[in-house]
Every structure is written in C-alpha cells, then in structure tokens.
Chain A
C-alpha cells in the first residue's frame, strides 16, 4: 500500500469517526478615506513607509482620538449585511499590550459593548453560521525584521477594522471557506471594504477543535491566525482536522494544546506560535478619550435607506429568472456583473439567462482577464443578447462582440454598431444565401458530399454547411442555410 493510499484511508476513517467544530474571527479593513481616529489617508498602497502617519497615530504625548464618522456608517452597513442588530449604544475600550507596531501601548477596540450584535450568515449551500457580534477597532502597524534589527511602518496603524466573530457553527473545511467567501461578498456588496485580499483587506483567524462524532464535549481549541485567502482557510481547517484527529486516533489527544498556530501556504502546514500559558492579560478598560457612541433610530434608518443590494437579493432574483445556481455563484464573485445582470433581468428575464452564460462562459474566461467589468451597461448587454436571440448574430459572433463591448474605447457604441463594424451580422437574406448555396452545389469539391446527402447520408450535410459558412465569410445563419440547402437537394 502506497503512502498516499494510507493517507486517504486515514482521512476517510477520521471523517467517519470525528467531527470538527470551527468558529472564525474575520478582520475586515474598512474602505474609509481616513483612519479610525485621525484625519490621515487610510490608503497607503504604493506609499513610502510611515507616509500616512499623524501625531495621533504616532501616539505623541497629549494626542487624542477623533472618531471617524464614516467608519461608524460602514459598521452600520456591515451589521445590516450580517442580518444583525445594530446596538444603539456602544463604546470603545483599550486593550493593552506592548509591541513596537502598537504606538499607544493599547489598541482601541470595542470589548464590552460592540456596535454590532448577533446576526446570521447563510452560505450558498444553505448552511447557516451565527454571528456572535462584530465590533469596530483599529489596526496595528507592521514590523519588518532584518538581521539584528527591525523596522516599524505605521502606515496601517489606526486603519479602521470590523472584527466579525462567528459562533462555532462550522463543521467542515469547505463550509469554513464558503463562510469566508460569503463574508467577503457581504463586505464588498455593502461597500464596507474594498475586499482586496492580496493587500490584507480581510484576514481570518480560524478556531478549530476536533472531537468524536456525537461527543457531548468539544475538543481542545486551536487557533490558526492570520489567514489571508479563502483557500488557506479551507486548507488550514482541513490540515488541523487531520492533525488533531490523527492525535486523537492514536490516543495522544493530550498532545493537542490550546494554542495559537501559524499557517504556511508553502508547506501546507500549521506550526505552534504561542501557547495558552503565555497568553497575555490585556487589562481592558473603557476608553475615557472616546465618548460612548449613541446612534439614534433616525441615523440608522438613514444609513439603511442608502444600503446597496446584498448577495441574497441577487440570488433570489436570478434564481427566479431560471439562471443555474452554479452560474449565479460565479457571477456573485463580481458585484458589478451582478448589478449589470439585474439591469438586464429587469428588461427581459429570458435575455438575462443568455447574458449570465456569456458572463461565465466568455467574459470571465481566462483569455479575457484584465477587462474592466464595469464598462458595458445592462442595456447594451441586453441588446447583444437580443441580437443573438433574433438570429442576427451567431453564438461565436456574439462572444466576439461581447469582448468588444468591454473595450473602453467602444463604450459609446451599441452592440449593433459594433457587430456591423466587425462585419458579423448574419446573412438572413434568402436570395443572397441561395446564391451562395448554388455556388457550393456547383463546387467540384462538394460533389461527393452532395451525392451522399441525396443518397440519404445526412452526416454529409454538416460538411456542406461548413462550406456555405466559409463562403459567406461566417455571416450566414446556419439554421436558415440548412433549411434552404435541404430544400434544394429535395
């Protein structure tokens, strides 16, 4: 038995015997103009280290926090996206620890009274995950280590975050990934975050314990910190499940320690970072420098009135139009496409199905990566789909025009004008088509195929239509050409 086969066997056995219980803490960077407590640019991408730092972020003596109201607005939106209660009264607390990337010696967060209460996230597969609460807090800076020294970059220090804390409702690595993806969709659809995972806009801490199926007590909890991709969330959960189940199966359950572990994408493994015994006492204290946050019902209602549509609304609409669930999920990965598709749907549900397939089959194909997905309006897309529907454009030509529709230099042109310019409109003029058919029938190269068809060998029809298409420069409507050809060969 090979090593891999042995591994697979164990895997299956573990899956039968054990169950994982996962809770996820997700840090979402907010798309605010300025930092949570200072009027400094919150977008440090491409900037020199320490270019976005004010005396407040630097924690000079006598500096006081000024709460960014835009962050509060985005928190209310996030709460709504999580189907959660917005707490009318919340306040900020100080979480104390020493580290060079934490200038004040404490992080300002919401420990005792968070702004967002309990909520629920429904995954595309129907499973749901309860949200325990979510709170506003500030990010720390960044350390870069060199040989015998380290450098501090405070550009990120003070960036507003929302930390979303789930209940331990997740029981598979796949659901862990689906939950992370759904949070990403919710945060980006609500306009709360840019959702740029590469730049750390969302980070996940996965808490995972493993116990025998049906056991009354959960296993020892291990936290895998700072995962920055959906795939790593799934892989880390999967790795930890196997690691912990392996130890349990070997009777070495005591070796599972309550600890913080780090994940390496390169090795595909988690490793010990800090054990519970070394855990710090954060000495939480209400922050006397930030007055409690009191949100009136009118203030909250005003924000919710401007709330963008959430994935669930799109899912319901698209399913109603008969678009396949799988297709819908792919499209939901790009909010702007969901917006455009809904525009199409509001014009004509049947066309929406066509456009949805164009999105997943062509627009999102690898060779078209790099297109600005916001260029084509719903109206232009609907027109394109209508031309295909009406036989004016072949499927191939439709795809070609679609790509041109997304070229910014064509943003003023309709699908029809583009198709004309590209000389792709199908030949539906019977007279012209008949001329081409007669030409093919006279072509010596077609003689044997013509004879076959006459003898009832219908396979040869395809060959003849191919010739007709070729001679028409691809503009012939193949269905009509077939009709006319068969009539001629009677």
Chain B
C-alpha cells in the first residue's frame, strides 16, 4: 500500500500525523536533515484541516499528509535559504507553483531540507549549514543536492519530499538513501518560485517511499503554468501496461562502475525480464561526452542565474563594503560557497568573448547530438536502464578536495538532463555493507508515466 495513501487514510488526526513527523525530525537531528522546521505553522494548519474534516468539508487528496520541502522552493512559510549564506535571511513573498499545488491538496510542510548551496553539488556537503548524513550510514553522505529531502524520506520522517534535479540532484540522493526519486520531463512541473540553478535543465520532482506515491504525486504537480513559459500541458495521465522494449546502456555497466552496483543493477534487469519485458543491451558511445557538455552549459547558466545575488535589493550584503564595487565583490565573496564560485568562474569563462564559440556553442552542438542519439534509441526502445551512480554513498569528506572526482559521480545522471528526458531512480537493494543502490529508468520525453508504471509493476513483484 502506498505510504502517502496509508497516512492519509489512517484513523488519526492531521495534528497527530504532523506532531509525529516533527517529533521524528527532532529525534534525527544529528543527521542535519532540515535547515528549519515549520513547527508552529504546520501544527496550526493540521488543526485547520482536522476542523475541515470534522465539518465534512473537502480537505484535499493529501489532507494532513506531512512532507518535507527542499530549501530552494519559495514559500511564505519560513525562510528560503537555498542553504546559502547569501539567502540565510531571505523570506519569499510568493509561493512556488509546486508548493501551492501541494498546499491546495492539504499537504503540510513540516520543514525545509538541506541541500548543496544553490543546489551546486552531489553530496550536500556544499551547504552553508553543513553536510547531511546518509540515512543508512551516518558517516556517509546523503548525496545531493536534494540530500536533506532523500534522508527525510528514508528515515521515514515524512512519506515524501519535494526536490529539484538539474543533473541528478533527485536521483542520486534517492539512490544513496534507497528511496524513489523522479526527475520528470523538462517542463512537466513549473519551476516558478524555485531558486534557479540551470534554467535549461532544472526540473522539479518528488522523493517518495513507493512507486505508487511517486506516480500520484507527480500527477498532482505536473501541468501548464503561465508563470513558467517552458511548462508543457499535462501528459502524465496513465501508463500503458503492455510489455516494453528495454535497452540496457552497456557503456555504463562496465569500467568505472562499482562491482556491487553492477551486480544489483543486473539483478533488477533480471526482474524486468521475469516480468516479461524484452531486454537487450545497447551502446551509446556519445554519452561519454555528456559530462563535459554538462560542465560547460550548466556553469554558464549558473553564472548567469546567480548574477542577481548582488547584495543590492535583498540577501546578504557585506558589512564593511564601502563602494559599489565592494558591495558586489565582498557580498558575493562572503555570501557564496567555494563550489558556487567555481561554477561562476567556469561559466563566465566559457561565455566570455573569444571563448564562447569554442566552449559554450560547441557544447550546445554536442548536446544536440546527444539528443539525436536518444531519439534514435527511443525509436527502438521504450525504456533505457543503467545505474544511477557508479558507486554507493561515499564517506563524508572523501571527495571534497577533488572536484573532478565529485563531478565524475554525475556521469550517469547528467545525460538525460541534457536531453530533457524523464528519469526515475528505483531502489534496487543494498550492498553487503548495507548501502542502498538505485537503478535508473530513462524514457523518451513525455514518457514519465511509463517509467513510473514500470517501477510500480516491478515493486509489486516483491
């Protein structure tokens, strides 16, 4: 049974549900899951919903269900920090469309979850508020950038959480913590009100405990929003339940992939076969360029999107800044994390006069070739399969001194992001030492429902 539906249908009050979630959040404080708890407002809202139910009024499909919100979504409840000193005291005057949709269904946000500052990173170690620990091993990273959201769901503090995925930020922490993590087709869910990282690959999705919940929640979140002109009309209706043609991306099954990761992925593929789906190996050699393309295009957009944090209108302003130049340089120097600055530097370099053609434009051309390669593949296959990440969760501090090694961890999640494809991280068991592993299901644009339907089908076989 779906945990969200279970929660919603349990004969307990919304206040009890929310109080229990808040209690768990406090109990697991050492994991550093939350940047702030929304205790007062959440309990007041829960009481409101209980009254509505008592009066026999409609309270929404998620009435009283507590959830956690990645701290880069604007909401009028609490501060929207993006885990950055720059926005440490920023209170949004608007509500993100995704948050509004959940609120309208009666869901209750109990706290804001930790992330790499401005979602730059894959371990949540780049947070101004410190790293979040993995739900299965406190000495290991939660993954990132939606590390707090993944750990919150894995520790069962909440049945689901909202996240954002630009190059793997939902899928990888979901994999590291053993929960479902859905990155939808680009444009499926409105980005309005979400602190932008890279506009052309930013997506909004959920981290949940079951495939069924993932499906239901994505259905609620998706749809056209006039405030985000890149959104698509809702296409998440129902999945076809026929037998699928599935391709296993062999490029991501060999060298550089942890043995246990490869083994657990193969086990999952066996389940797919047993369920009657037609599985074969495919080669996509072009994908080896995806990481290089990603780390040109995304920093360019990052540098541009972070230009607004200038210490003038809101956000952090360095106290000792005396001139306009100093307001800019000192506020940004002190308000941004080293990883933010690294990406801004790379981005401004690849956009600068004389280098634009050689880097940014070239990268966009290769990106087009990657999209073409996927299109050709999806003419023959319904779903592609590969691991989410080459390794299970690594130790906190293990990769922090080596940015390149950290970036290499994104090698399997980045390609679908560049092509705007839906991709789902499905829990696929644990390593001998008890670390969860996720398998990635990738589909053609707008085939999100097929991926979630397939995951639900395999989940049901257990």
Contacts and interface: CB of A to CB of B under 8 A. Distances in A.
B87 A281 contact: no
A61 B87 contact: yes
A106 B94 contact: no
Interface string B163-202: 0000000000000000000000000000111111011100
A281 B349 CA distance: 11
A58 B313 contact: yes
Contacts of A300: none
Given A61-B87, A62-B192, A105 B308 contact: yes
A152 interface: yes
Given A63-B192, A67-B229, 20 more contacts: A59-B308, A60-B314, A61-B72, A61-B87, A61-B308, A64-B230, A65-B229, A66-B229, A94-B304, A98-B307, A98-B310, A103-B308, A106-B304, A283-B356, A284-B351, A284-B356, A285-B304, A288-B230, A288-B301, A289-B230
Interface of B: 72-74, 80, 82, 87, 90, 92-94, 96, 191-196, 198-200, 226-230, 300-301, 303-304, 306-308, 310, 312-314, 324, 328, 348, 351-353, 356, 360
A285 B301 CA distance: 8
Contact of A66 (B80, B194, B226, B353): B226
B98 to A, nearest CB: 11
A166 B195 CA distance: 40
B191 A62 contact: yes
Nearest to B306: A105
Contact of B94 (A55, A281, A287, A290): A55
B93 to A, nearest CB: 7
Interface string A271-302: 00000000001011101111100000000000
Nearest to A55: B94
9 contacts: A61-B82, A62-B192, A65-B229, A100-B312, A103-B313, A105-B310, A283-B352, A285-B301, A288-B199
Contacts of B194: 62
A60 B308 CA distance: 8
Contacts of B353: 281, 283
A65 B226 CA distance: 10
A356 to B, nearest CB: 49
Given A61-B80, A61-B87, A62-B194, A289 B199 contact: yes
Nearest to A98: B328
Contact of A64 (B73, B227, B348): B227
Contacts of A63: 192-193
B304 A96 contact: yes
Contacts of A106: 304, 307
Nearest to B308: A59
A152 B351 CA distance: 28
Interface string A166-180: 000000000000000
Nearest to B192: A64
Contacts of B73: 62
Nearest to A53: B313
A77 interface: no
B360 A285 contact: yes
Nearest to B195: A61
Contacts of A291: 229-230
A64 B191 contact: yes
A92 B193 CA distance: 21
Nearest to A64: B228
Given A55-B94, A64-B191, A105-B308, A281 B352 contact: yes
Contacts of B351: 96, 283-285
A66 B195 contact: no
Contacts of A59: 308, 313
Interface string A90-115: 00001010101001111000000000
A105 B307 contact: yes
Contacts of B229: 64-67, 289-291
B226 to A, nearest CB: 7
A120 to B, nearest CB: 31
B434 to A, nearest CB: 38
Given A59-B313, A61-B74, A100-B324, A66 B196 contact: no
Interface string A50-87: 00000100111111111100000000000000000000
B404 to A, nearest CB: 24
Contacts of A67: 229
A62 B96 contact: yes
A443 B73 CA distance: 99
A154 to B, nearest CB: 9
Nearest to B191: A64
Given A281-B353, A283-B352, A61 B90 contact: yes
Contacts of B96: 62
Those 5 A-B pairs whose CB atoms lie nearest each other, nearest first: A105-B307, A283-B351, A288-B200, A288-B199, A59-B308
B92 A60 contact: yes
Contacts of B191: 62, 64
Given A94-B304, A288-B199, A60 B93 contact: yes
Contacts of B199: 287-289
A63 B191 CA distance: 9
- Which of A65, A152, A281 has the most C-beta atoms of chain B within 10 angstroms of its own C-beta? A281
Contacts of A288: 198-200, 230, 301
Given A96-B304, A285-B351, A60 B356 contact: no
Contact of B196 (A55, A61, A105, A285): A61
Contacts of A287: 199
A57 to B, nearest CB: 10
B99 to A, nearest CB: 11
Nearest to B297: A288
B253 to A, nearest CB: 32
A278 to B, nearest CB: 13
